[in-house]
Chains A and B, each alone.
Chain A
Amino acid sequence: MSLPLIVLLPLLGSLVPLLSNNRQRTLNAWSTALLPAIALGIVIAHAPGVISGEVYHFSMSWVPQLGLDLAFRLDGLSLLFLLLILGIGLLIILYSRYYLSPDDSMPRFYAYLMLFMTSMIGIVMADNLLLLWVFWELTSLSSFLLIGYWYQQSEARRGARMALAVTGMGGLAMLAGFLLIGHIVGTFDMQTVLDSRDLIQADPRYLPALLLVLLGAFTKSAQFPFHFWLPHAMAAPTPVSAFLHSATMVKAGVFLLARMHPALAGSQLWLYIVTLTGLVTMIYAAYFALLKYDLKGVLAFSTVSHLGMITMLFGLDSKMAVAAGLFHILNHAMFKATLFMSAGIVDHETGSRDIRKLSGLRRSMPMTAALAGLAAASMAGVPLLNGFISKEMMLTETLETGILGGLAWLIPVLATLGSVLSVAYSLRYVRNVFFGPEAQELPKTPHEAPFLMRLPMLLMVALCVAIGLLPALIVTGLLDAAAQVTILPPRPELHLAIWHGFNLPLLMSVIALAGGVGIYAVRRKLFAFQRQFPQRNALMIFEHNVRSLLQWTQKAIDRFENGSLQRYMLWLIIAVLFLTGSGLLDLTQLRGPRQLQALDGLLIAGALITILAGLGTAVLHRRRLVSLMMLSVVGLMVSLAFARFSAPDLALTQLAVEVVTVILLMLALFFLPQRTPKESSGARVVRDVLLAAGFGGIVASLNYAMLTRPLDTISGFFLENSVSGGGGHNVVNVILVDFRGFDTLGEITVLCIAAIGIYKLLNRLRLFMPSSDSEGRPWSRDLHPMLLGTVSQSLLPLALLVSVFIFLRGHNEPGGGFIAGLVTAVALILLYIARGVDWTQQRMSFQYQPIAVVGVAIAALTGLGSWAFGHNFLTSAFGHFSIPYIGEIELATAMLFDLGVYLTVVGATLMILANLGKLTTRHRPSKENEKETV
C-alpha cells in the first residue's frame, strides 16, 4: 500500500514550498526536501525485496471505460530510476538553495521542481501504458515551466516553448503507439503487454506502433534529428539543467526503450532503427560538444551524445548490451549532474560561462576544480572511475553485433570515434576552465562556493569513484534486478570488473584516450574548419518553420473566413445542397405509398397567392416597402394554411406575430435606406437564382417525399394522457405548458434574452431620420389621426378582455399564454401607434423589462414549486374548484406556468417595439425645424 505514497508525497511536496515566503530560504529548502526524503526512505525500504527479484504492484481503478487504471509497480528498473530521481533530486534541492539569487522566487522554483519530480516518478512507476503517458505529458508540461523559469528572458521562453512543442508532439505520437499496442494486446496493463511479445510482433500494426513509440522516446531523449531542443533548454537555471539532463527528462526516453524492451525489441526493425539512430546521435553530438564555447552548451551536446550511446546499446542485439545501457544510465546521471553543478558554480562565482574567458580557476576554487576534473574523467572513460567500466562494456558489445553484415566493423570503429571525441571535449572542459593562466576581466572575482553547495558534487563524485573501484560490490544487485525486467530470459551473467585482461576493448579505450588528447591538441584547426560552414541556429529555424506554418493556416482560414456574410451563406448552402441532395438520391422514388388527398379550388388559389407573394418579396426586394407588404401577405397566407389544416392555435399565433413583425419591420425600415441599390453583377444574380432554385427544389422534394410516406407519430401518447395527466383538453397547450414545459421555459428565456439584447442595442443609438419618404414626399403632418386614436383607445379594454378570455380558456380550447400575450401586445402597440410614445408613456409609466423577467421567474418558480411537494421539476397538478357566481372551473398549476409565458411575451414584445418606437420621438430636429418654419 505504500507504493502510491512514493508518487503522492512529492506531489504534496509541490505545495509545501508555497507555504513559506521567499525570505526564509533555508527553511524553504529543508521543508521542501522533507517529503521526497520520506519517499526515498520508502523506496529504500522496498529495495531489498526488489533486488531479490520481487515486483510490487498496486492498482486502483480510475477510468475503467478507457482501460486507464491508477496502477503502480516497483521493479528493478523502477528502483534504479527512483534512486536516481529522488537521490539526485534531493541534492538539487540543496544545491538550488545556494544557486538561486534573492530576486528569484524560491517557492515557485521548488514547486515546479517537485511537480516535475512527481511526474518523473510516475513515469518510472506506471503499471499501465495510458498512465505512463499521462505522466509523460506531465513531464513535458512541468519541464516547460522549469525551462521557462526566468520568463523575463526571451531566450528562456522560446527554449521552453520549443522543448514543449517537440516533446509534446512526441508524446502524442507515443500515445498513438500505445493505443495501437493496447488494441493488439487487448489491455493497457503493463505486465500483460510486456508478456505479449510474440503477439505484438506478429501483428501487422507492430510497425506503426513501434515507429510511434520510438518517436516519443527519441524526441524526449533528444535523439537525432530531434536533438535540437535540448541545447536551447539550457536557458533554464543550472540546477534545473543538472536535474533534467542527468537523471530525469531526457532519461525518460531511454527509460521507455528499456521498459518496452521485452515487448518491442528483438526485431530487425528495432535493431536497425534504434542502433543506428543512437550511433549517429552519439557521434554528431560529440563533434558539436567539442565546438561549443558555452560551458552548458558543451554539457548539453555531451548529454545528447551519451544518450545516443545508451540508445545504441538498447538497440544492439546482445543481451549484455542492455545491461551496459542500464549501467551507463546510472553512471551518466552521476557524472553529468556533477558537471552541470560545477558549471553552475563557475557561472555563479565568476559571472561567465564562456570557455574563451574562463581560465585557471583551480587556484580560486580548488575543490570545485578537483570534483569537476574527476567527473569529467569519468565522462571520458578514464580507468578507475565508473564511466570507464560502462564504456568498456559498450565497446565490447559493439564488437559482437551482427548488424550490417559484412560492414559490422563500422559499429565498433564509429563507437571508438565517439569515445575519442568524448575524451577530447571532457579534456577541453577541464583544462580550459580550471588550468592555464588565471583569467582576467571576469565579471566577478572568482572564489570558492559555499560548502553546502559543493556537498552534492562531493557525494556524487565519491559514488563515481566507489563504483569505479568496486563495481561488483555496489551495483551488481541493482543492475541485476533492473536487467531482470528488461532482458528476456535466458539472462546473461553480469560480470562487473575493472580488469578483463588485455583484449580488443581495452585497446579501443587506449585509442580513445590517446586520440582524444590528440584531437584536443589540434582543436584550433577543427574550429577553423568549422568556421567555413554557415552558423545555424536551431531555435531560429524552428521558429521560422512555426511561423510559416501559422501563416499558411492563416491563409487557409482567410479563404473561408473572409468577413463576407454572402460567402459564408454560400458555403452553408452548398453543404446543405450536397448533404440533403445525396440523401434524396438514395430514395428509390420520390413519391411514397401514402394515399394523396384531393385538391380544391380554394387550396389552389391560396397556394398561388402564397407563391406569388413569396416571389414578389424576392423580386421586388429593392423597393423595400413593397417587399415588406408582400412578406406580410405570405405571413397571412401561412396563417390561413394553419387554419385550413386543423391548427387553430397556430393560426392565431401566426396572425398575431405577423402583425407585430410587420410593425417592427416598418419601424426599422423608417431608419434604414428605403431602397436597395443595384449592386450584384448579372453573374452573381444568376448564381444566386440557381442556388435558391436548387435549395427550393430540394426542400420541396423532401417535403413531398415526407408527406407521401406513412406517418409514424408519438402523438398518440399526448392525445391519450392530455386530459388524465395534464388536466386540459387543448393538447397543444398541454404539451407546451406540461409535457414539454421545460422546452417552453427554455424558449421564453431565449425570448427574454433576445428582448434584453435588443434593449441594449437600442441604447444610445443615434440614427438619421429622414423627413420624407423615398419618393421625396414629406411625411404627413397629422402624426396621430384622431379616428385611429379614438378607435384604438376604445378597443384597448376590449382587446385586453379578449386576451384574458383566450388565456383562461387556453388549457381546454384554442388559446393560451403565447396567443393571449401577443393579443395584449398588439393592443398596446396599436395604442402607441395611434397616440404616440409620449402620450402613452404618460399614462402607462411602467417598465417592460421587469415584466418579461418576472414572467420567466414565475414560470421557473412554478416548476420549482413541484419540488416542494416531492415531485419532479415542472410536474403539474390540477383540480376542480367551485367559485361562486362563475361556477365550477378547473385550475391547474400549468396555468400559473402559462401566466409566466404570457407575461414574458407581453414584456418582451413591448420591450422591443416600445423602445424602438421611442427612437422616433427622441432628438427630432426635423420635426422641431418644421414647426419653426411653419
Chain B
Amino acid sequence: MEALFATVTGFLAASGLYLALRGRTFPVVVGLTLLSYAVNLFLFSTGGLTTNGAAVIRDGVDYYADPLPQALVLTAIVIGFAMTAFSVILAMRVRGDLGSDQVNDQRGEESKEDKS
C-alpha cells in the first residue's frame, strides 16, 4: 500500500511539474494545482496511512489517525485554493493588459528558442 501511495504521489507530482514547465498561463495554473494535490498527499502521509482510525476522541478508543498533518493539510488546501485563484486571475489580467497568455517575458531567450 505504501508503494502504491508513493507511486500516485510521484505521478501527480510529475504531471504537475510537466504542466508547470509549459509556456502558457493556463496549463501552468493547472499544473500548480496538480502539484499542490501531490504536495498535500505527501504532507498528509507524514502522519502515516491510517486505516479505520478514529478521527474524534471517544472513550475507550485508542487507535487514532495522526491529527497534526491533517490540520496542516486542511489549511494548505484552502491556501492552495487562494493561490490557484490568484494565479489564474493574474493570468487573466495579463491577457487583458498585454494581450498574451505566454509566461515568458517576450525579450527572453527561452521564448525565442521556443519559436524557432
- The interface of chain A, by Cβ under 8 A from chain B, is 562-567, 569-570, 573, 596-599, 603-604, 607, 610-611, 614-615, 617-618, 621, 624, 627-628, 631, 634-635, 638, 641-642, 644-650, 653-654, 657, 660-661, 664-665, 668-669, 671-673, 676-677, 679-681, 684, 688-689, 691-693, 695-704, 706-708, 711, 713-715, 718-719, 722-723, 729-732, 735-736, 740, 743-744, 747, 750-751, 754-755, 757-758, 761-762, 765-767, 812-814, 818, 822, 905, 908-909, 912, 916
Known: A617-B34, A657-B81. A692 touches B56 (CB 8 A): no
Contact between A653 and B89, CB atoms less than 8 A apart: no
* Residue B60 at the chain A interface, CB threshold 8 Å: no
Inter-chain contact A707/B10, CB cutoff 8 Å: no
> Which residues does chain A contribute within 8 Å of B109, judged by CB atoms?
562, 564, 567
When distances are taken between beta carbons in the complex, the residues of chain B under 8 Å from A813 are 56
A704-B3, A729-B58 in contact; A660/B71 too (CB < 8 A)?
A: no
Q: Which of A607, A713, A732, A766 has the most CB of B within 10 A?
A: A732
The CA-CA distance from A627 to B5 in the complex, in Å, is: 23
Instruction: Tell which of B13, B18, B53, B96 touches A688, judged by Cβ atoms closer than 8 Å.
Output: B18
Query: A644–B79 Cα gap in the complex (Å)?
Result: 23
Q: Is the CB of A715 within 8 A of B47?
A: yes
Is chain A's binding surface mostly helix, strand, loop or mixed?
Answer: helix
Can you give 22 contacting A-B residue pairs, CB < 8 Å? Answer: A563-B108, A564-B105, A570-B21, A597-B51, A614-B16, A647-B44, A657-B77, A661-B81, A665-B84, A672-B101, A702-B42, A713-B68, A714-B68, A719-B64, A729-B56, A731-B57, A744-B75, A755-B82, A762-B89, A814-B55, A822-B78, A916-B89
Which of B61-84 touch A at CB < 8 Å? 64-68, 70-71, 73-75, 77-84
CB contact between A747 and one of B2, B11, B78, B90 (< 8 Å): that residue:
B78
Task: Kindly identify which residue among B34, B44, B56, B92 contacts A672, using a CB–CB cutoff of 8 Å.
Answer: B92
Interface string of B98-116 (1 = CB under 8 A from A): 0001011111111101111
Bound CA span A644–B88, Å? 31
Task: Report whether B57 and A707 are in contact in the complex, using a CB–CB cutoff of 8 Å.
Answer: no
| Contact yes or no, A740 B29, CB < 8 A | no
Contact B82 A751 (CB under 8 A): yes
Out of B10, B56, B79, name the residue touching A703 (CB < 8 Å). Answer: B10
Contacts of A729 in B (CB 8 A): 56-58
Given A718-B67, A729-B56, the answer on whether A680 and B15 have CB atoms closer than 8 Å is: no
Query: How far does the Cβ of B113 sit from chain A's closest Cβ, in whole Å?
Result: 8
CB distance from B2 to the nearest CB of A (A): 4
- B residues in contact with A631, CB < 8 Å: 30, 33-34
The CA-CA distance from A707 to B82 in the complex, in Å, is 29
CB <8 Å contact, A761 and B89: yes
Number of A-B contacts (CB under 8 A): 336
CA distance A911 to B103 in the complex (A): 26
Contact A740 B108 (CB under 8 A): no
Q: How far is the CB of B114 from chain A (nearest CB, A)?
A: 5
Please tell me which one of the listed residues A607, A653, A706 contacts residue B8 in the complex, with CB atoms under 8 A apart: A607
Task: Name which of A693, A706, A758 has the most chain B CB atoms within 10 A of its CB.
Answer: A758
| B57 CB to nearest chain A CB (Å) | 4
Could you say which residues of chain A place their CB within 8 Å of the CB of B27? Answer: 621, 624, 627, 676
Q: How far is the CA of A813 from the CA of B79 in the complex (A)?
A: 23
**B71 and A736 contact, CB distance less than 8 A:** yes
The listed residue (A650, A689, A693, A703) touching B74 by CB distance below 8 A is A650
Is B104's CB under 8 angstroms from A657's CB?
Answer: no
| Residues of the A chain whose Cβ atoms lie less than 8 Å from the Cβ of B110 | 562, 564, 566-567
Report the nearest B residue to A731, measured CB to CB. B67
B108 cross-chain contacts in A, Cβ below 8 A: 562-564, 567
- Of B13, B51, B107, the residue contacting A645 (CB under 8 A) is B51
A735 pairs with B30, CB closer than 8 A: no
Digitize B16-36: 1 where CB-to-A-CB distance is under 8 Å, 0 elsewhere: 111111111111111101100
Using A604-B4, A615-B11, A701-B6 as known contacts, list a sample of 9 further A-B pairs with CB atoms less than 8 Å apart, ordered by residue number in A.
Answer: A564-B110, A573-B21, A653-B74, A668-B26, A681-B113, A688-B21, A707-B48, A730-B57, A767-B95
Asked if A566 and B68 make an inter-chain contact with CB atoms under 8 angstroms apart, the answer reads no
Known contacts A715-B66, A908-B82: does B11 contact A611 (CB below 8 Å)? yes
Contact B6 A707 (CB under 8 A): yes
Neighbouring B residues of A766 by C-beta, 8 Å: 96
- Contact yes or no, A706 B25, CB < 8 A: no
Whether A641 and B41, one on each chain, are in contact in the complex, defined by CB atoms closer than 8 angstroms, is: yes
Q: Distance (Å) between the CB of A191 and the closest chain B CB? A: 56
How far apart are B67's CB and chain A's nearest CB, in angstroms? 4
Residues of A within 8 A of B78 (CB): 653, 657, 747, 751, 818, 822, 905
Chain B nearest CB from A685 CB (Å) reads 9
Tell me how far the C-beta of A869 lies from the nearest C-beta in chain B, rounded to whole angstroms: 26
Write the nearest CB–CB distance from B68 to chain A, whole angstroms. Answer: 5
| Docked complex Cα distance between A362 and B50 (Å) | 102
Question: B57 near A722 (CB under 8 angstroms)?
Answer: yes
**Which chain A residues lie closer than 8 Å to B83 at the CB level?**
754
Is B18's CB under 8 angstroms from A638's CB?
no
Nearest Cβ on chain B to A911's Cβ, whole angstroms: 10
